[in-house]
Structure 1
């Protein structure tokens, strides 16, 4: 039987205690079936189990006194049987105090399966020597007994932070007059206290306050860092699809977020999203997240931002997306392609082959955003079922084929490595708004091979537009698209450009191929209102779609999205109209490919 040490002193009569500076000590055993422990007023605070070994001092036949660290406690002397003399209790260091619930139990070991040595019936304050497996180790008369953390509340005085002990604890936000459960904070984590209210600690993050139950926490000697959420470099809000674990960068648990929690994503770390979790830098897996309207399209998208969104979609939806880097630009920027769908048949859509035409990137990204959201929900969008359709035909999106050129237009010569060269090509001007070429002055849409050697052009050297390059496929950007096309079996290629609201489709197709392709062009015209350009019978071309048509015998369209605005980017004021006209185009083209 485990020895339970109780420091007991003789109580000469109720309410009158004889002081003994040095008293003889005895070890005794509780023999009563129901032995009460009383306070100095004679009120019962609980019962000590029969067979519990105790230590007493100055024993007689009336009462014995337990010198408890917080107050005097007493037990009937007749319930004690002397075992031996001269027992010296151990001095145990304490780390704090707890106040019990009105009903609680003290155990021989830190387990509910252990022997119950004391049953409490009123609230009481105990000193705590340690915390073991979700139990307070109590200094109770010289030896250790154990109290579940769920049955006591730590006492906080001028404490900077708290540790979560035992089980994970819920965290709440006060909304509309009630506490709304947000998730959990993990055990063995420390959090800064703003203040306490009733039964709760308050955590403040920025202007928001969150509530954590005090029971299950303990004063911490740590000073946890708290970071106020900062604006993300690229704004993105996502929603948890299920109960979502939250952890530190090195994988330690921080807590959980409930299903349906709206999160502001701060960054990406491989397959993990970086978030601010109640003042802590944290990670969650992207595949626990979904989106409804992730991209805000009425803006100019840089190359890094475009790459960020593509990586996010690929990380969120690995089951129906695939992200590739198909090549690099002159300055080493990645050229991304993302597949949406599970279909074995595939079509290709791209944008920003010409630098100043970067609103076409917006069209591609908004298609990805809108189509994937409806795929996820298995909903009908504009008369199409994206899930059903994209399970048969996948769309490969290349949002930005000319990342160096786009960066030059958006950020100027200081935004690229070859800014001095570009400025020289631009005849000394630092205004690059009219620039179409890649960063070294080759017009990528004149660098593909559809009788490239027969191109009739007056531009014979690097230029903001119109220079075909020193040789066919001289540029890494055009080679990247060429090699990607040749590696797959696309049923069609559709390249977005920006000015004129017209559609090009012809490159000397004949018979059934010509009938098929003009039909597709006319149907896209019906969706958009754009005019189909009649055949022009240009013998020499370096256009990407002309090369594709010649190489694969599949349809290829150039779709110009905006009324002509001159030699400059399409203004954002045109965006709403552009998207309204093009929102169904990708789904139509996928459906058309599925028919072949």
Structure 2
């Protein structure tokens, strides 16, 4: 919600007037000097939207403040007036409304287009989020990142490395929405004050690493690539099992962590799954993810995958002691099994552990056969919310 600064207004006063933590208002207005607000400048208030209301016969400002549970000055500020003593029937005024519902609909047809709509809505309503494009897919869809928080600990969480694991994006977007609402409402999430997480950690969220692949699974092949993709899919018109990017490269088997060894036992040509590519980090998506890890100095990394209800946390004995503690805490929070080593290499978390000797995790959400049905959403989310909260602590 946008308001215009009046003489003598302060960000602290806005926080009190709308019951929003001051730190969130400051972070939503980074271009403003909190100590020198200018009359008439625009300020963003997180967690609110505006609606237009037509005055009914005999209605007073007291009626409106009582009904909407607002301070009178909130209405005066939004409508830029000092006179509400003579309201006219049919007169339109703006009402500030606190957002009490989810912006994200995680059970929708959650392709790239739906993600873009939800990202825009979250940034509009919670403008203390910092959104940036961190790369492109093969088909030039943007790889987007949300940064949330101000703490020293840097935590990257990503989803949908694999196309047919698109439900991980749904789960993660639901978590982001719940976290943002809890922040504005000074509420807890999984028993932890959300503001404490915000002050302790910076969350770097990449909700969809493989947008081309997700769209292929959910919407079918683009017209101009139709025959080529059917050929890569061994003549099969059903792309629901496709894991790779649009070029048939498995993005989570692209990283130089025992890459030459793994190459010998995986497919040698592009296809729906498991092809490592002809060289490591050859794809635009993996180039972007590698660059992020190298430049942003994360303290922890979580990759969300499906399925198996397992937490993979080791790589070749290179993981630090903290990894075991976190893995056990994640297991307790989610009910999943913590597994140190598996016969699998070349993944993003493997490379992260190898390069930085910091905690990295592959979380295998849910159980069954990929793609997991959206009917599992509620159960998976109940397991994941406390785990993701622990990741930020």
User: What TM-score do you get using the length of structure 1 for normalisation?
Assistant: 0.51
- Structure 1 unmatched ranges of 5 or more: 1-168, 185-240, 247-253, 261-288, 592-596
Matches within 5 A, 1:49-88: none
- Structure with the higher fraction of residues in strand conformation: 1
Q: Contact conserved, 2:156 with 2:300, CA < 8 A, in 1? A: yes
Instruction: Find the aligned partners of 1:392 and 1:557 in 2 and give their Cα distance.
Output: 20
Return the offset for 1:482.
Answer: 0.7
Aligned length: 321
Return the offset for 1:514.
Answer: 4.0
- Taking a change above 3 Å as real, the CA distance of residues 300 and 531 of structure 1, as seen in their structure-2 partners, is farther
SS of alignment partner, residue 493 of structure 1: strand
Does residue 324 of the first structure (1) align with residue 132 of the second (2)?
yes
Does residue 530 of the first structure (1) align with residue 336 of the second (2)?
yes
Which residue, out of 117, 140, 160, partners 1:352? 160
Does residue 425 of the first structure (1) align with residue 240 of the second (2)?
no
Instruction: Find the aligned partners of 2:322 and 2:177 in 1 and give their Cα distance.
Output: 29
Aligned to 1:295: 104
Instruction: Report which structure shows greater RCO (CA 8 Å, sep ≥6).
Output: 2
Instruction: Find the aligned partners of 1:580 and 1:257 in 2 and give their Cα distance.
Output: 38
Aligned to 2:47: none
Instruction: Find the aligned partners of 1:485 and 1:300 in 2 and give their Cα distance.
Output: 30
Aligned to 2:383: 581
- Taking a change above 3 Å as real, the CA distance of residues 514 and 245 of structure 1, as seen in their structure-2 partners, is same
Which residue, out of 88, 92, 96, partners 1:259? 96
Instruction: Find the aligned partners of 2:79 and 2:219 in 1 and give their Cα distance.
Output: 39
Q: Find the structure with the greater CA-based Rg.
A: 1
Return the offset for 1:428.
Answer: 1.8
Does residue 171 of the first structure (1) align with residue 54 of the second (2)?
yes
Instruction: Find the aligned partners of 2:106 and 2:53 in 1 and give their Cα distance.
Output: 37
Aligned to 1:461: 269
Instruction: Find the aligned partners of 2:257 and 2:321 in 1 and give their Cα distance.
Output: 21
Which residue, out of 490, 505, 512, partners 2:298? 490
Does residue 516 of the first structure (1) align with residue 322 of the second (2)?
yes
Instruction: Find the aligned partners of 1:345 and 1:419 in 2 and give their Cα distance.
Output: 44
Which residue, out of 166, 185, 190, partners 1:377? 185
Q: Contact conserved, 2:302 with 2:363, CA < 8 A, in 1? A: yes
Does residue 559 of the first structure (1) align with residue 366 of the second (2)?
no
SS of alignment partner, residue 55 of structure 2: strand
- Residue by residue, what CA displacement relative to the aligned partner does 1:330-362 show, whole Å, maximum 9, x if unpaired? 000001110111223210001100000000001
Aligned to 2:120: 311
- Taking a change above 3 Å as real, the CA distance of residues 458 and 489 of structure 1, as seen in their structure-2 partners, is closer
Instruction: Find the aligned partners of 2:374 and 2:238 in 1 and give their Cα distance.
Output: 19
Aligned to 1:83: none
Return the offset for 1:256.
Answer: 4.2
Q: Which moved more, 1:292-301 or 1:321-330?
A: 292-301
- Taking a change above 3 Å as real, the CA distance of residues 528 and 323 of structure 1, as seen in their structure-2 partners, is same
Q: Contact conserved, 1:340 with 1:368, CA < 8 A, in 2? A: no
- Residue by residue, what CA displacement relative to the aligned partner does 1:403-445 show, whole Å, maximum 9, x if unpaired? 000000000114x653332111012221100000001100001
SS of alignment partner, residue 545 of structure 1: helix
Q: Contact conserved, 1:346 with 1:396, CA < 8 A, in 2? A: yes
Instruction: Find the aligned partners of 1:180 and 1:400 in 2 and give their Cα distance.
Output: 49
- Taking a change above 3 Å as real, the CA distance of residues 179 and 505 of structure 1, as seen in their structure-2 partners, is same
Q: Contact conserved, 1:299 with 1:572, CA < 8 A, in 2? A: no
SS of alignment partner, residue 388 of structure 1: helix
Aligned to 2:21: none
Instruction: Find the aligned partners of 1:454 and 1:330 in 2 and give their Cα distance.
Output: 26
- Residue by residue, what CA displacement relative to the aligned partner does 1:452-500 show, whole Å, maximum 9, x if unpaired? 1221423000010000001101100001111111110111000000111
Return the offset for 1:573.
Answer: 1.0
Q: Contact conserved, 1:457 with 1:466, CA < 8 A, in 2? A: no
* Superposition CA RMSD, Å: 2.7
- Taking a change above 3 Å as real, the CA distance of residues 502 and 256 of structure 1, as seen in their structure-2 partners, is same
Return the offset for 1:382.
Answer: 2.1
SS of alignment partner, residue 427 of structure 1: coil
Aligned to 1:452: 259
Q: Contact conserved, 1:298 with 1:572, CA < 8 A, in 2? A: yes
- Taking a change above 3 Å as real, the CA distance of residues 343 and 420 of structure 1, as seen in their structure-2 partners, is farther
Instruction: Find the aligned partners of 1:405 and 1:256 in 2 and give their Cα distance.
Output: 46
Aligned to 1:440: 247
SS of alignment partner, residue 189 of structure 2: coil
Aligned to 1:399: 207
Instruction: Find the aligned partners of 1:555 and 1:496 in 2 and give their Cα distance.
Output: 15
Instruction: Find the aligned partners of 1:432 and 1:180 in 2 and give their Cα distance.
Output: 60
Q: Contact conserved, 1:508 with 1:537, CA < 8 A, in 2? A: no
- Taking a change above 3 Å as real, the CA distance of residues 173 and 447 of structure 1, as seen in their structure-2 partners, is farther
- Residue by residue, what CA displacement relative to the aligned partner does 1:549-582 show, whole Å, maximum 9, x if unpaired? 11111111111111122xx311011111001111
Return the offset for 1:314.
Answer: 2.1
SS of alignment partner, residue 418 of structure 1: helix
Matches within 5 A, 1:51-200: 171-172=54-55
Aligned to 1:227: none
User: What TM-score do you get using the length of structure 2 for normalisation?
Assistant: 0.76
Does residue 545 of the first structure (1) align with residue 349 of the second (2)?
yes
